[in-house]
Amino acid sequence: MPLIQPMPCPNCGSSAQRKHLVKLEQTQVECPSCDYFLLTCSRTGRVKEAYAPGIYWGNGRSK
């Protein structure tokens, strides 16, 4: 059973949820308002999957 914590969405500020998936050693953040999603390794902090509409994750160069 995951531990679920409410938190503000880092993308839009709405109410989001942080889920600690202990057996999988993962932490997941989801926002139903803007579709933000972040999945990280709980041990290393490395990002496994991320989706944030409206945020450009490129190298800073304009197209």
pLDDT band at 53 (very low <50, low <70, confident <90, very high): confident
Q: Are strands 37-41 and 47-51 parallel, antiparallel or unpaired?
A: antiparallel
Query: 16-52 pLDDT, tens per residue?
Result: 999 999 999 999 999 999 999 999 999 999 999 999 8
Residue 37 exposed, middle or buried by CB count within 10 Å (0-12, 13-18, 19+) = middle
pLDDT at 11 over 60: yes
Name residue 9's amino acid. C
55 compared with 26, residue with greater pLDDT: 26
Mean pLDDT over 8-13 rounds to: 91
Categorize the per-residue pLDDT at 60 as very low, low, confident or very high, splitting at 50, 70 and 90: low
Distance, first Cα to last Cα, the chain: 44
Kindly report the pTM of this predicted structure: 0.79
3-class DSSP state of 57: coil
